[in-house]
């Protein structure tokens, strides 16, 4: 039975199709996605939209269904076991050649490098404590002449959350702490 076809073929497909495909490290080819139920589930990188587009309406816990981007404008549906990319890779190899598989392998390798670059254990050590962080933000508030409440704005806080400052034991100071810090800095300047 072919792994390509239209929607009517999906009902007839076996749950698992054995194929011989070069093994690719599956540890880095998964990503977390939210589904309509609000839960988080794992999804393969191969169905992230670059090579195949994941079809949530046709997928379930027993099968992953996606359309091949290289076969467009024709809609070619590929079905496979969840978290197993062999059917998708076999389709690339049979229908689009070894070049397509090599392109996917290079894409996967590039994504792994990006993940490794973002890893917290590869981050440089930061020599910044909470007091220094508060002083830097306070100096910014004074020099930019913005209201103290700006440090409690959700968008301002989001900047620091995206930088994962909590992983360094830091947090954005409240407006009250900014005022205290500015007052201390002012007192220090005014003392002769």
What is the mean pLDDT of the segment spanning 95-120? 77
pTM (two decimals): 0.43
List, in sequence order, the alpha helices (H) in the chain. Answer: 7-12, 86-96, 98-118, 130-144, 154-162, 175-190
> Which tokens go with 4?
């390509």
Contacts 24+ apart (CB under 8 A), 86-90: 86/17, 86/19, 86/21, 87/3, 87/17, 87/19, 88/44, 88/46, 88/47, 88/51, 88/52, 89/21, 89/22, 89/24, 89/46, 90/3, 90/19, 90/21
Q: Which percentage of the chain shows pLDDT scores above 70?
A: 71
What is the mean pLDDT of the segment spanning 163-171? 84
Contacts of 58 (CB under 8 A, 6+ apart): 7, 10, 65, 77
pLDDT at res. 85: 85
What is the mean pLDDT of the segment spanning 158-168? 86
Residue 176's pLDDT band (cuts 50, 70, 90): very high
Residue 122's pLDDT band (cuts 50, 70, 90): low
Backbone angles phi, psi at 164, to 5 degrees: 55, 45
- Alpha-carbon Rg of the chain, whole angstroms? 25
d(CA 47, CA 92) in angstroms, rounded, equals 12
d(CA 125, CA 113) in angstroms, rounded, equals 20
């Amino acid at each position: 039975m072919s792994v390509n076809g239209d929607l009517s073929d999906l009902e007839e497909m076996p749950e698992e199709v054995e194929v011989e495909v070069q093994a690719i490290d599956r540890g880095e080819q998964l990503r977390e996605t939210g589904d309509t139920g609000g839960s988080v589930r794992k999804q393969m990188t191969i169905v992230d939209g670059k090579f195949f587009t994941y079809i949530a309406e046709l997928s379930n816990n027993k099968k992953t269904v996606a359309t091949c981007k290289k076969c467009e404008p024709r809609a070619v549906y590929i079905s496979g076991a969840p978290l197993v990319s062999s059917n998708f890779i076999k389709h690339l190899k049979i229908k689009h050649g070894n070049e397509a598989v090599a392109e996917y392998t290079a894409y996967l390798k590039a994504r792994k490098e990006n993940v490794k670059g973002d890893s917290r254990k590869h981050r440089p050590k930061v020599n910044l404590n909470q007091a220094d962080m508060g002083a830097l933000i306070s100096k910014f508030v004074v020099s930019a002449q913005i209201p103290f409440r700006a440090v409690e704005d959700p968008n301002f806080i989001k900047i620091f959350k995206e930088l994962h400052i909590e992983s360094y034991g830091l947090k954005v100071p409240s407006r009250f702490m900014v005022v205290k810090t500015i007052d201390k800095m002012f007192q220090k300047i005014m003392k002769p």
